[in-house]
Amino acid sequence: MYEELIQQLHPLPNFILDWYNGHDSYSEGNVEDTIIRIIAENPPEDYAKAISANLNWSTYYHLTGIRQNILNWYPFRPDSEILEIGCGLGAITNMLCSRCSHVTAVELSQRRATAALLRCREQSNLDIIVGNLNDIPFTKKFDYITLIGVLEYQGSYTDGANPYMDFLRKIKTLLKPGGKLLIAIENQYGLKYWCGAREDHTGIPFEGLNQYSISSKKVRTFSKDALDGLIRDSGWSHTFFYYPMPDYKLPTVVYSQSQLPSDACMLDIRPYYTPDAATLIADERSLYEDIIRNQVFEFFANSFLVECGDDPQVGEVSFATLASMRLPEYQIATRFYGETVEKYAIHPSGRQHISELLKNEQKLQQQGLHVWQSRLEGEYAVSEYCKFPTWEKHLLDLYASGEISQIYAVFDSLWNEILNSSPVVPWQENILYTFGLDIVPDEEKYGPILETGYVDMIFRNAFYAEDGIYWFDQEWILENVPAKYVMYRALVQFYSTWKQAADDLLSAQELILRYNLSSCWNDFNVLDLLFAKVVIDPTQLAEHRFFETENKQIPVTNIRKILG
């Protein structure tokens, strides 16, 4: 079947079987045939629909574009050559090909390598070698080597008393001077495992916490210190640890040892559990606040991405966020790169969105508001790194200190910023009257109608400085929108994220009454749903939520089972 598919597709990368032993020693079974069929019959932009029609963890995990987030923010040199060890079904191979001059991908399984081949069939800068890396006599060296979910299996695929160290030493001989090794692996003591999630490789809860004494599989992960020691003992002089969240498989935000999370929000990361949540005994998200406050996040992070090198030039990027749950034309990444912040399109169709973001900032500045300015450099929107706290952080500090009058003053300041952000238009031009929502026109109900509504005027998107508020990340605008709708979005975002910290002191309802939002709240809910449909990929969002759990009763039920 595979041979027929391959013969029908041109051009193809080089597919090399010289070191294939005729046995696929690593496989997830027949589901891989389904995935290969999806890859062969669909372009990448249609994978999400195909996943929905075949929804299971393997199909989702191997085909979702979120997988690329583990490295699509990394500053690969465009003229570099990469060795991707364990390319699997090609989840990140295409992305690597688009970032570098040449990629050599190695995969043990011919069936999995075939999936990667079909997935990357448009790439002419790719060699796929089927075989065990330890058996392949390479004739060249590489600028980068990636080990994404590979190191933990070397107890089965590398001989010797210390297969993990032996494997890393072998890899080091394949790097050019100044080259970098990138290792992604679960943390043996990741928080999700303490909460009862099944160990990713054995499927057994608490397996790593029990030092892999339950399963007979030759697989293991490491703590941060153990992994760092293993890498250094294998010959690398410098390491830099990144912390992809919720883990390296499906990351939406990447922290680092130089940019750790400062609060439990972590940009609203959403943990997921496979194959189910039936073994959970605690709610992961409820624990991060104490973990961060006690400065032990690095020990409990669910997984690591480690940059390894012989020179100290590691960790040039300190932080990244990846808006990949959106429709392709709106997917953007943000990375803190040295003293600058760079925004760029994840998908080529999103470059126009970067231009629109810069235009929005310019228009907002023309209205007399402070803006933390960006500039266009090539395909990047670049701004200087800001050391001021966000307005959200300032507001949270006021809640923590109980400064009610100052909290009201902050919300009043936001309302004034919104009113000053745009000229107004006649009330009859209200955007709500254009959707056929059976809303009765009312001159007083919705208040001023802004010609341009900057719907990202939320506390998280502003810096708090002595000379005023500086706005950033103003991605989205709506024309002829009520100023109250912009205020509504700021309240929803803040209280949905910080309800526990804020509601006891000052309820959202009090602020809703203060700004006369009650009568139009339901209408704004509808408008917000319509707006979300323009931005978010609903299929991809539904698939991800299928593997999430927000039911806090599950741990309680499981504990009761344990107690009998």
Q: Can you tell me the distance from the alpha carbon of 480 to that of 432, in angstroms, rounded to the nearest whole number?
A: 9
pLDDT of residue 518: 96
Q: Which residues of the chain have pLDDT under 70?
A: 1-11
pLDDT at 2: 58
Q: Is 333 helix (H, G, I), strand (E, B) or coil?
A: strand
Q: What pLDDT was estimated at residue 5?
A: 62
Label residue 284 exposed, middle or buried (CB < 10 Å: 0-12, 13-18, 19+). buried
What pLDDT shows up at residue 312? 92
Q: Structure tokens of 191?
A: 């928080």
- The CA–CA distances, whole Å, from 20 to 23, 33, 107, 133, 362 equal 8, 19, 9, 10, 57
User: DSSP label at 258?
Assistant: T
pTM above 0.75, yes or no: yes
Cβ atoms 212, 283 nearer than 8 A = no
What span, in angstroms and rounded, lies between the C-alpha atoms of 361 and 369? 10
Rounded distance between C-alpha atoms, residue 301 and residue 323, angstroms: 21
Contact (Cβ atoms closer than 8 angstroms) between residue 325 and residue 288: no
Q: Return the pLDDT at 6.
A: 63
- Contact present, 481 and 449 (Cβ < 8 Å): yes
The closest of 39, 51, 40, 201 to 544, measured between CA atoms, is 51
Single-letter amino acid code for the residue at 20:
Y
What is the distance of C-alpha 446 from the center of its chain? 36
Contact at 8 Å (CB) between 117 and 9? no
Write out the H or E segment, with its range, that includes residue 146. strand 142-148
What local confidence, expressed as pLDDT, does residue 553 receive?
A: 86
| Mean pLDDT of all residues belonging to the chain | 93
Residues 6+ apart with CB under 8 A from 203: 275
Residue whose token pair is 């019959």: 41
pLDDT computed for residue 317 by the predictor: 98
* Dist. CA 340–CA 16, nearest whole Å: 42
Write the pLDDT tens digit of every residue in 58-106. 999 999 999 999 999 999 999 999 999 999 999 999 999 999 999 999 9
Measure CA 57 to chain center: 18
Q: Quick check: 12 and 117 in contact, CB under 8 A?
A: yes
* Max Cα–Cα distance, the chain, nearest Å: 79
* Burial readout 526-545 (b: 16 or more C-beta within 10 A, e: otherwise): ebeeebeeeeebeebeebbe
Give the Cα separation of 402 and 86 in Å (integer). 53
295 φψ region: left (φ > 0), alpha (ψ -120 to 50), beta (else):
left
Q: How many CB atoms lie within 10 A of CB 10?
A: 8
| Strand, helix or coil for residue 141 | coil
Contact 222, 201 (CB under 8 A): no
Q: Which tokens sit at 480?
A: 């002829």
Q: Taking a C-beta distance cutoff of 8 angstroms, is the pair 142, 101 a contact?
A: no
Contact 237, 295 (CB under 8 A): no
> What φ, ψ does residue 304 adopt, rounded to 5°?
-125, 150
Q: How far is CA 304 from CA 88, 149, 225, 256, 339, in A?
A: 19, 10, 11, 9, 24
Residue 254: exposure state from Cβ atoms within 10 A (0-12, 13-18, ≥19): buried
Residue 341's pLDDT is what? 97
How many CA atoms lie within 13 Å of 406's alpha carbon, on the beta-carbon side?
11
> Alpha helix (H) ranges present in 9-121?
31-41, 47-53, 57-63, 93-99, 110-119
The Cα–Cα gap between 394 and 468 comes to 12
pLDDT value for 8 = 62
Residues in the chain: 564
